[in-house]
Structure formats: C-alpha cells, structure tokens
Structure 1
C-alpha cells in the first residue's frame, strides 16, 4: 500500500468505528479507544510523510524543469519495503500488516542501523486485522452465501486448472461480538408436520390440524484467547520482508490450525469452547455398507429436515481413500491421478480437515457454525523475556480473541466411515 492508501485506510477505519458506536447508541469501548488513539497517531504521521514527499517531488520537478532528463521518482524506505513485500507474495497476510504498521515503522526508523545487543524492544500491540481474514488468501474473493459450492462440470482428460482447495474456515460463517459472551438458542431437532387439512374440523372428527416443532437448547458462546509466538533474531526483526514472510508462514498457519481444531474438537470444558463433535443436538450417521453410502445416508437425514448441505469435512486419510476408490475393472471412480477437478462427494465440496480424526466425517450446513471476532488479530514483540536481550533475540507473539457458536446443530451430521 502506498502512503496515501494507508492514510485513506486509517481514515476509513476511524469513520467505521464512529458509525458503529453511533448506530448502537453507545460510547467507544476500551479497545476501540486504544485503536482510535493508534489510528490518530498513524494519520498524523502519514499526513506529515505525504506532505514531505509531495514537497520533495515538487522540488525535484522544479530543479529538472530546464533539463532534458526526466525527473526521478522519489521513494521512501516505506515504499521500498512495500515493493519488497510485493515481491515475496503480496500484501494482506498477518506479517505484511505488522511490518507496515506505524508502530513497527517508527521503531525501525528510530534504529536505522538495526537492533543491537541491549536495545530495549517493546512494541505497542499492533492490530493486524479481523478474524475474518485468518486463513484466507489476500487475492481471494470473499465467499458469498450460496456461492461457495464447487460447481459440477465436465472435465477434459488432462485438466490444466487447479482450483484453490477449501478449508474449514472458508465454509463456516464469520461474525463479530461486542461482549465477552452471548447466550443464544440452539435448534437441536426439527419436526415438520405441514399437511392439507379440512376447512373445518368438528369435535367428533378424529383428525386435528398438524403442529410442527423445534427442540431448542440454551447455549453460551464465550470469547477465548488464541495465541502463539516465535523467537526471532534482532536481525530478522529489522528485516521487514523476511519478518513478514516468517510471520505469514508460521504464526498465521498455527493460529488457523488451533482455531480449526477447537471448532471441530473443542471439549466445552477446562477452558475450551464446545466444538461440533461435542455439541448436543448434532445428528449421527452410523456406518452403512461403505464410505460413499454412509455419506449419502447422512445427506438423506439432512434433506428430510430441509437443511442445506454446503460441505463434507473429511480427514486427510479418508480423503486419500476417496481418491483411490476403484470399480471392478480397476478404474478410479474419481478423475484419477491426471486430473485436478472439483473435489466433491455426491456433488458437495469435500473439504480436507487435518484436525479431523480418520474414520469420521462432518457434513451439513457448515454455515450454521459461526466464529465471532471479539478483538481481532494482533502482534506483540519484546525482548524482556528470559535472557533474550543479552542474546539479541526477540519474542514475537500473535493472538486473537473469538467465540464460536453453533446455531442449528440439527443441520449437521457426524458420520462414522468405518
């Protein structure tokens, strides 16, 4: 992002925070006040830098006006850093956002020679984005409701297109929350008895008008803190492109993994949220004949209550078994090893979840599973840890706070595949 783009983004965020508080008829929260303070300082700094760059460009234009040589384009350290980040895979990741923050840039500008032994290193908390960005590619379009299914198409013998695989975080719903917890009603069972009835039912008649029903359960979604950190050297901390790459590939991946694990396997006790596999009201499908038949039986259970089937979650081991299924003549039921077509089962996206145990599949309306962002993702860096200052080491920690809610457990099925 250029300086002007950063300036506009900061102004837009300030406007967004103000509009949100006004629409809800409340004062700013403590976290919002902290973020507004950081954004205000960033806007002032960016405004000063933009003016300085404009003045320098104007001066160069005047000095070169009488010359045949074209005026050079002046670029600051921050712009060169942005170009370097673009060369390593593009902006948008957790690490890219951190090294472009006002806090990181100010600290690096104050130490142009790098961070040597004894340099006190402490960054203010840097907001690097909402939870909605976790696990999504920077250039990926947001998935719209009803459009996240892999389309059934006829493929050529050799398919040269490789669609980006979906992950669990791509098929669930992302949202926000303002408090530490919320209470909500879960729909654990659905009974549909709609029917044609006579215009009048007399007391002597045996029939009565039908009644449909919902079984519900009062549940609580509490915010939990997810965190991970790495030790880096002072030299890496001063190297923005290298640091961004490291953070994108390590911290962001680890946070995504633990969130997916809790969405699936959270026990609901001992400081853990309740995941899909431990939520009351989720339907169960026992093994029937084979894996493919079992999945279809589960789809049937969902179709009978009118629930959409947006995805089928499988483990890497079971995904491999699906790909290797063959008919009596040894031909693959799927596209085989030479194609890269839609990864589906019964027309529904097959999503690989490394945190899912082999022999278990989850299918149904995955959109009913919701991650509620409480604070968003942030990064801290400091060397006041053990003897790190003497060893030129820095502890970089990323964390987020979020809650998870499953509004309609009845629209999910846990299938046993063996």
Structure 2
C-alpha cells in the first residue's frame, strides 16, 4: 500500500467513526453529548486533514512518475550511484542524440550542421537524491526543490530536461526576440549581523531588540564556456561514439569550472566572487593537528547557531583524514575503516571531495545559505561553417551563464589545514 492509499484509508476510518457517533445518537433520538461532540469534531477534522494529505501524496507521486518517465526518455537522470560526476554521461548522450535527430529533420542534411542544442543542464539539481549524502559541491549548491526550480527557473538552475535543437533561422529568431528571462544583473539580501537578544520579559517591561542586519548585494551573471579543437568530420562518421564522448567531456569541463568559480573565484574580471572570498566568512587557523582543527571549525558554527551540512576537502586532504592512525605508520585508523560508508562523515557531517578547494584548505558550512543561479541554460553548439567548411572540420562549444548568492557568509568557515613545517 503506497502513501496515498494509506492516508486515504486513515481518512475513511475517521469518517466512519464520526458517522457511527452521529448514527448512534440519532437512533437513540438524542443530540450528541459534549464528549461525543468533541470526538465527532476531532474525527471530522482528522478526516479532512488526511484527505488533503492524500491529495498531495497522489499529486507528488504523479509528478515523480512523469519526471522518471521523462528522464528515461532522454537518457536517465543522474543518481547517487552515477558513474560520472553529476551525471555527465547522460548529459552528453542527450545532446548528441538531439543533434542526430535534428539532422534527420533537415531536408537534404547528411552531415553535422551548425546550430545550438539546449542541454539538460549539466549543473543538475538531481545530482543527489533527497536524503542521500551529497556527492559534489554542485549538489550542495543546488538546494532548491525541483518544484521550486520549475516555478522560478531564474531563481536557480533551469529545469529544461528535454534538449531542443535550433537551426540557424531559429537561433537568429531567439537572438532577436530574447527569452524574456530578465537582465544580466541580479540582487539579493545578505545577512551581515545576527545578534539574538531573546530573553524572559516581565509584564509591562520593554522587550529586547534582536539585530538582524541585511545588505543588498548587486552582481551580474558570468558566461562560462569552452570550445573543442577542430576535428575532421570523418572522425564522427567512422566512430559513432565520438560525439557522445566529446559531449561528455565538455559537459564535465563546464561543471568543474562552475564549481571552481563558486568556491574559489577571486572576483576579478569575469570571475565570480567565490564563497572562500566572500566578505564575512569565518576562518579557523591550524590548531595542533588535523582533526582538532576540523573539530574547532564545527564548534565555531555550532556556537553561532548554524548547523553544518557538509565539509568540503581537496582529495589530498581527504586522503590525509582517511589515513590518520593511532601511530605514525601503524595502529588503528582514527576514523575507522577508510572504505566504510561511515568514513564519509566526520561528527555526522557529510564529507565532499573537490579539486575546486585548494589543498591545505577546507570549507565547512550550512550550504542552504548559498545558491548557484542559472541565467542562461547550458548549450551545446556544433559548427561546421566558415573556415571549418573549407576543411571539412567540426567544432563543439559548450557554455552557460551563471551567478552566485552567498546569503549568509558567517554560516561558513574557511579552515587552514596545511600542517606547519616542523
């Protein structure tokens, strides 16, 4: 029995109980007693509440079923066991499939043509299933629900899961007409002061004032892009997997660039002002040893009322944590079996590994306090024109337009875990 059926059964049980109370009083030619009336009202309210919950459960199940069907149709959504980072293989397959199908729809077309494929966004909001441990920094940055993203596509990563192909005429029309999605700039409120003064107050006394100060931050979206080197068209004719491989690789490259900018961008030129360079972020200096330093950072956040949701480490530092022993080269591992699932967390805080954070630095924080925005969905563009036409060559381009909101910098700690020289 699924959730909808369970809720429906409970609602019917309460309705039955209410009906039996009313029928009993009616058979006895009397009105309900005070206790019976209270019980009757309680059953009616419970039945109504459960009925509403049942409707929501049924609607959620239908949406989930449709989403799964769509994901299967375009190559599958990434899961917690995805073979590639953030489902990059599924992303590449979807783009190449659309290019091939589009070629078939263009009369007389026998080779790759110029145009743009709007991809399932490589910065996927489904990189980690609900309740699963985060697999990447991008998973941490994607904290809005799919329903919220679908309703507000420019408040987060767009939810266009069906790739579309634009021939040159369609592309020109899109450029002339725009997408109606807004401008290249955005603004948001960043909390700069959090001073809680809540306290017991006597009758007639003045209540204390807590201070929650916000600053309006104005920023703009950045284009993140790269192109492939020209390749002979015959490569694609001779090897049917090359287009998929190239799409996979370029999608992966875009994901890693976005992740690096979100964490470590220095704010100069076209770079993001990444989380590590945001004004107001906490810092934790080296404190005697690696585990002590990391634990003190947890204490810092807990002390200001923030609950850390993930710790991000460079792969080199993640190895250092995994291989800590009671002795220098022997003894028990301090965090337990490095291969066990329990090793993916420290003090119940999930660990995420990323080359986007420099070795010797770690980031601990409540990742609900930062958002990655997408202004322009990621696109795969295939070109054979111009000088490429004369040489019978092909180039791929992958690009998107993204922004970052660091809404509460003090919910993060930049940790110095580079062990000082002896």
- What's the TM-score once normalised by structure 1's chain length? 0.64
Aligned position for 2:399 = 399
Q: Distance in 1 between matches of 2:212 and 2:336?
A: 42
User: Contact 1:307/1:411 (CA < 8 Å) preserved in 2?
Assistant: yes
Cα distance in 2, alignment partners of residues 363 and 345 from structure 1: 11
How far is the alpha carbon of 1:219 from its aligned partner? Answer: 1.0
Aligned 8 A contact 1:309 1:348 in 2:
yes
Q: 1:308 matched to which residue of 2? A: 307
Matches within 5 A, 1:123-272: 123-130=114-121, 132-133=123-124, 142-144=128-130, 147-148=131-132, 150=133, 166-173=135-142, 176-177=153-154, 178-179=181-182, 180-201=184-205, 209-230=207-228, 231-238=230-237, 241-272=240-271
Contact 2:363 2:415 in 1 (8 A): yes
Deviation at 1:385, TM superposition (A): 5.3
Q: Aligned-residue CA RMSD in angstroms?
A: 3.1
Give the aligned partner of residue 379 of structure 2.
378
1:412 aligns with 2:412: yes
More off after superposition, 354-363 vs 223-232: 223-232
Going from structure 1 to structure 2, the CA distance change for 1:379 and 1:303 (only over 3 Å counts) comes to same
In structure 2, C-alpha distance between the alignment counterparts of 1:105 and 1:229, rounded to whole Å: 22
* Separation of aligned partners in 2, 1:318 and 1:248: 31
**For each residue in 1:89-114, what CA deviation from the matched residue of structure 2 results, as whole angstroms up to 9, or x when unmatched?**
9997232222232x542325669995
Partner of 2:101 in structure 1? 105
Equivalences for residues 312-391 of structure 1 within 5 A: 312-328=311-327, 330-336=331-337, 339=340, 341-384=342-385, 386=387, 388-391=388-391
CA contact (8 A) 2:122 2:255 kept: no
Going from structure 1 to structure 2, the CA distance change for 1:113 and 1:196 (only over 3 Å counts) comes to closer
Q: In the TM superposition, what whole-angstrom CA distance separates every residue of 1:190-225 from its partner, at most 9, and x where no partner exists?
A: 112211122234xxxxxx643221233221232111
Quote the Cα distance in structure 1 between the aligned partners of 2:353 and 2:107.
Answer: 45
Q: Which shifted more, 254-263 or 299-308?
A: 299-308
Q: Is the 8 A contact 1:263 1:275 kept in 2?
A: yes
Gaps of 5+ in 1: 1-80, 83-87, 116-120, 151-164, 202-207
Cα shift readout 1:50-87 (whole Å, capped 9, x = no counterpart): xxxxxxxxxxxxxxxxxxxxxxxxxxxxxxx98xxxxx
Q: CA deviation at 1:122?
A: 3.6
SS in 2 for 1:274: coil
| Equivalent residues of 2:103, 2:109 under 8 A apart | no
> In 1, distance between residues paired with 2:88 and 2:121?
15
Where 2:203 maps in the other structure, the secondary structure is coil
**Does the aligned pair in 2 maintain the 1:371–1:402 contact within 8 Å?**
yes
Gap change, CA 1:132 and 1:106, over 3 Å in 2: closer
Unaligned runs of 5+ in 2: 1-73, 76-82, 155-180
Output the CA distance in 2 between the equivalents of 1:91 and 1:299.
33
2: distance between equivalents of 1:368 and 1:338? 31
Q: Which moved more, 1:260-269 or 1:286-295?
A: 286-295
Change (3 A) 1:335 1:128: same
> How many residues are treated as equivalent by the alignment?
299
Whole-angstrom distance in 1 between the partners of 2:95 and 2:293: 46
Q: Which structure is richer in relative contact order (CA contacts within 8 A, separation 6 or more)?
A: 1
- Partner SS state of residue 376, structure 1: strand
What do residues 15-42 of structure 1 show as CA deviations (whole Å, max 9, x unaligned)? xxxxxxxxxxxxxxxxxxxxxxxxxxxx
Partner of 1:9: none
Q: Using the alignment, how far apart are the partners of 1:283 and 1:337 within structure 2?
A: 29
TM-score (normalizing by structure 2)? 0.63
Counting helix residues as a fraction of each chain, which structure ranks higher? 2
